[in-house]
């Protein structure tokens, strides 16, 4: 199963970055390939999420169970969709210069064709996703110099 990880330090608080990640209603505004996103059945410890992505002519919808540990961690597990396996984690750790953001994704598509077509691109996709959240933080909170 392909596993990708991106880590970087951003000059924002863990709470600010956590809030951006759980604000799924705004994903289509800034997240590449996301055409629809929503969360539902929200409790204090988790919510269900549904996202539709369109990439290289392929459009897929998937659902996840997102367990939340505000403001430091979000664990996301597959509920249904084109994946055989999908787990990802967002972690937000305070540092002297802001927050270390770590995004890890581990997945396997159900379709062999999707694995061969999209699997090799996921390293760049993962980096672009984290960059999109960094850019969104600048848009929402402003550019902060540590």
CATH code of residue 14: 3.30.530.20
Q: Which of 57-74 are b and which e, b meaning 16 or more Cβ less than 10 Å from the residue's Cβ?
A: eeebebebebebeebbbb
State the pLDDT at residue 125. Answer: 77
Q: Between these two residues, 55 and 134, which has the higher pLDDT value?
A: 134
Angle, helix 122-141 to helix 14-22, in steps of 10 degrees: 110
Q: How far apart are CA 48 and CA 113, in angstroms?
A: 28
State the pLDDT at residue 120. Answer: 63
The number of folded domains in the chain is: 1
Q: Check: pTM over 0.85? Answer yes or no.
A: yes
Q: Does residue 103 belong to any structural domain of this protein? A: yes
Q: How far apart are CA 87 and CA 55, in angstroms?
A: 20
Where does 11-145 show beta strands of DSSP type E?
Answer: 34-40, 46-55, 58-69, 73-80, 83-95, 98-109
Strand 98-109 and strand 83-95: the pairing is: antiparallel
Q: Between these two residues, 129 and 91, which has the higher pLDDT value?
A: 91
Q: Does residue 146 belong to any structural domain of this protein? A: no
Q: Does residue 122 belong to any structural domain of this protein? A: yes
- Domain range for 85 is 3-141
């Amino acid at each position: 199963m392909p596993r990708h990880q991106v880590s970087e330090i951003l000059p924002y608080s863990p709470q600010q970055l956590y809030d951006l990640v759980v604000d799924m209603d705004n994903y289509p505004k800034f997240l590449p390939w996301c055409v629809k996103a929503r969360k539902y059945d929200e409790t204090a410890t988790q919510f269900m999420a549904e996202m539709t992505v369109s990439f290289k002519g392929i459009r897929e919808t998937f659902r996840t169970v997102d367990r939340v540990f505000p403001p430091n961690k979000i664990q996301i597990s597959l509920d249904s969709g084109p994946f055989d396996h999908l787990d990802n984690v967002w972690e937000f750790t305070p540092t002297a210069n802001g927050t270390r953001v770590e995004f890890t994704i581990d997945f396997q598509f159900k379709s062999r064709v999707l694995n061969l077509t999209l699997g090799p691109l996921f390293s760049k996709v993962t980096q672009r996703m984290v960059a999109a959240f960094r850019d969104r933080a600048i848009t929402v909170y402003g550019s902060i110099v540590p």
